[in-house]
Amino acid sequence: MKTIIYFKIRALKNLISKYFLSSPLRSILIVCFYVLAMGVIYLSIWGGFQFISSLGELSFIIIKRLIFIIFFITFFMIALSFAILYYTSSFRSKETEFLITLPYSYWELSFYKFTESALLASWLPLGGLILFIIVYTQINNLSILIPLLSIFYLIPFILIASSLGYIFCILVLRFLDLRKVFAIIVLSVIVVLYFFPPLKEKNMNIFYIISEEIVFFKISQLWFMPFSWPGWVIVDLENGKFINSFIFLINLWTLSILSLNFIHSYGGNVFKSLFLKHSVPKHKRQYRQGFLDKLFTLKIFPLHMGSFFLKDVKLFVREPVLWLQFLIFFGLMFFYFINIRRFSYNLLGDIWKNLIAFLNTFSILCITSALSIRFIFPQWSLEGKSYWILKLSPLNIKNIYFEKFIFSLIAFLPVSLTLIYIANKMLKVTSNVFFLTIWIVFISTCSLVSFSLGWGAYFADFKREYYLKAVESLGGFINIIINFSYIVVTVFTFTFLNHLIITRNVLFFKKYIFYILGGWGILSILLSTLITYIGIRKLKNKEY
């Protein structure tokens, strides 16, 4: 197994040196961008913490809860990413077919694939977590040892999350039909959301709202759940409860070693049976012309555009790895709406109302951004080695780009607009804020779609066997930074303007709010056009 890992590292080294030698300036620029991006993320987290600190005594509670929420979200993100990566790299991979022919045992292969998937699924969240812990330490004037020793509680945390992803992947592949699993999860989420009781007793106390009404906060702190353990390690250390902190650390390591031992012992057999099950050709299923074919051949769009739509829809629907990622979306939605249902927004003061309404917009844009990075960014890489078909078609690349843009917009706008509509209705926001947030979400969704499609085109890699790895690549990282920066700037600007209108009744802003909104819209369109132009230009020059 050491040999495979050694040569994988060699291959990576060769790739990096080839990249560097082909254009040293570009490589230096990319490194600079990485450093700059880290700086931006660091400053964003810092800014966020500073803002929360300015909320007075409440800030202490919110900051404490935030650390648990970050670990909670990261835990499930890593688990799901791991499950998808493990499935594609183990059972849909040419590399596995090659490795199987080599004198390696199944458990070695299983363990190697586990390590590879865990690394790929966690490197980006790990970076974010470390930055978050550094800022958290500085804001709370804690010992520098907490970030320095973070690796001791983050490694087992990642291993446990990956093990959960592994178990989920294996169970689904072994016993369940992917479509049924997806349908069951989605239906359960809807049912729970519908029947989840709103709080009977309403309370104006913001401390009460945060501790009792926001379910997210409560669940993320459950002491017996592994996702809360790193948070408890830090918080107990901070409070001087060294024994408690140490116990949580021991818990993390014990569970991670136990999981690894389980995978090491049984993983080989499971890997073998699943590989054989998935490598045997299945019964050839027949797909006759259906509703979709009829819909897209209607003369709503030009024929070639309809054909592209149809192709993209079918490729998406028939690729479980793609639509399974919607589970992330439904997971986020679940907690999001449960929190809103129980939230006593109408009892809050104007300042809090403004803040919550824009925080809500921020959350919806973050969800839209996460979805656009997951689904739109890899759209070009999804063409993969079949890109030669598009490249040889007698169509301008702009037309194909435009088709993908319209397709993405048709899929995304209803989602984001419905979310902001429902959330605003649940919160019972004022009509001004209602239309303002709808406009912001509309323009931002168009921009986020453009950014993801543009960067996806710029960084498209048609030779990559697994297009989903594109999301974890440099291009995916850049896309995350740009989207996040755009959302932060947008939401902060309008929150602040509205705050000024509410608190100081600044007439200037009230009078010119429409011009400001228009100006921001134009700026967004310009930025989107620029990234689109960069993407199309790169695609035109891209060689196959």
Partner 1 sequence: MVKTINLYKSFNGKWAVQNLNLHIKKGEFYCLLGPNGAGKTTTLKLLTTLLRPSRGKIYIKGLDIEKYPYESKKIIGFIPDTPFIYENLTAQEFLTFIGNIFKIDKKELAKKIEYYFDIFGLITYRDCLLKEYSHGMRQKIVYISNFLHEPEVLFIDEPLVGLDPQAIHLIKHLLLEKVKSGLTILMCTHILSIAEELSHRVGILHAGELIAEGTLEELRRNIDKTSLEEIFLTLTKNLRK
Minimum distance of partner 1 from residue 160's CB (angstroms): 34
Stretch that binds partner 1, among 174-182, 246-254, 389-397, 505-513 (CB under 8 A): 389-397
Distance, C-alpha 516 to centroid of its chain: 30
**Residues 6 or more apart from 291 whose CB is under 8 A from it?**
none
Burial of 180 (0-12, 13-18, 19+ CB in 10 A): exposed
Query: Total binding residues for partner 1 by CB under 8 A?
Result: 36
Query: Comparing C-alpha atoms, which of 327, 48, 354 is closest to residue 169?
Result: 327
Q: What are phi and psi of 429, to 5 degrees?
A: -75, 165
Q: Does 281 bind partner 1 (CB under 8 A)?
A: yes
Q: Does 288 bind partner 1 (CB under 8 A)?
A: yes
Q: Does 543 bind partner 1 (CB under 8 A)?
A: yes
Q: Does 393 bind partner 1 (CB under 8 A)?
A: yes
Other C-beta atoms lying within 10 Å of the C-beta of residue 181: 17
Q: Does 304 bind partner 1 (CB under 8 A)?
A: yes
Identify the residue among 94, 200, 285, 504 touching partner 1 (CB under 8 A): 285
Distance, C-alpha 88 to centroid of its chain: 18
Minimum distance of partner 1 from residue 331's CB (angstroms): 26
Q: Does 21 bind partner 1 (CB under 8 A)?
A: yes
DSSP per residue over 101-158, as a string? Answer: TSS--HHHHHHHHHHHHHHHHHHHHHHHHHHHHHHHHHHTT--THHHHTHHHHHHHHH
Question: For the chain, how long is the longest CA-to-CA vector?
Answer: 77
Q: Binding string to partner 1 for residues 337 to 376, with x set by CB under 8 A, is what?
A: ----------------------------------------
Q: In Å, how far are 86, 396, 483 from 531, measured between CA atoms?
A: 32, 18, 12
Stretch that binds partner 1, among 332-340, 369-377, 384-392, 402-410 (CB under 8 A): 384-392
Stretch that binds partner 1, among 17-25, 171-179, 188-196, 336-344 (CB under 8 A): 17-25
Identify the residue among 98, 291, 394, 504 touching partner 1 (CB under 8 A): 394
Q: Does 537 bind partner 1 (CB under 8 A)?
A: no
Burial of 27 (0-12, 13-18, 19+ CB in 10 A): middle
Minimum distance of partner 1 from residue 539's CB (angstroms): 13
Stretch that binds partner 1, among 38-46, 227-235, 308-316, 407-415 (CB under 8 A): 308-316
**Residues 6 or more apart from 169 whose CB is under 8 A from it?**
82, 83, 84, 86, 87
Minimum distance of partner 1 from residue 186's CB (angstroms): 22
Identify the residue among 4, 215, 247, 310 touching partner 1 (CB under 8 A): 310
The alpha carbons of the chain give a radius of gyration, in whole angstroms, of 24
Identify the residue among 314, 341, 469, 538 touching partner 1 (CB under 8 A): 314
Q: Binding string to partner 1 for residues 228 to 267, with x set by CB under 8 A, is what?
A: ----------------------------------------
Minimum distance of partner 1 from residue 241's CB (angstroms): 54
Minimum distance of partner 1 from residue 399's CB (angstroms): 10
Minimum distance of partner 1 from residue 390's CB (angstroms): 9
**160 in Cβ contact with 119 (< 8 Å):** no
Minimum distance of partner 1 from residue 388's CB (angstroms): 6
Q: Which is nearer to partner 1, 319 or 350 (by Cβ)? A: 319
Tokens 């309370």 -> residue: 203
Q: Does 18 bind partner 1 (CB under 8 A)?
A: yes
Q: Does 98 bind partner 1 (CB under 8 A)?
A: no
What SS3 class is residue 319?
A: coil
**Residues 6 or more apart from 104 whose CB is under 8 A from it?**
1, 4
Q: Does 300 bind partner 1 (CB under 8 A)?
A: no
Amino acid in the structure at residue 138: Q
**66 in Cβ contact with 148 (< 8 Å):** no
Minimum distance of partner 1 from residue 408's CB (angstroms): 18
Q: Which is nearer to partner 1, 21 or 243 (by Cβ)? A: 21
Identify the residue among 311, 341, 499, 538 touching partner 1 (CB under 8 A): 311
Separation CA 45–CA 367 (nearest Å): 18
Q: Which is nearer to partner 1, 212 or 465 (by Cβ)? A: 465
Identify the residue among 3, 141, 431, 541 touching partner 1 (CB under 8 A): 541
Q: Does 386 bind partner 1 (CB under 8 A)?
A: yes
Minimum distance of partner 1 from residue 287's CB (angstroms): 5
Burial 4-26 (b: 16+ CB within 10 A, else e): beeeeeeeeeeeeeeeeeeeeee
Stretch that binds partner 1, among 172-180, 355-363, 475-483, 536-544 (CB under 8 A): 536-544
Token duo for residue 51? 């803002």
Q: In Å, how far are 379, 381, 390 from 396, measured between CA atoms?
A: 18, 18, 10
Q: Which is nearer to partner 1, 385 or 537 (by Cβ)? A: 385
**416 in Cβ contact with 441 (< 8 Å):** yes
Q: Does 388 bind partner 1 (CB under 8 A)?
A: yes
**106 in Cβ contact with 91 (< 8 Å):** no
Minimum distance of partner 1 from residue 25's CB (angstroms): 16
Contacting residues toward partner 1, per CB under 8 A: 18, 21-22, 281-282, 284-289, 293, 303-304, 306-307, 310-311, 314-315, 318-319, 384-386, 388-389, 391-396, 541, 543-544
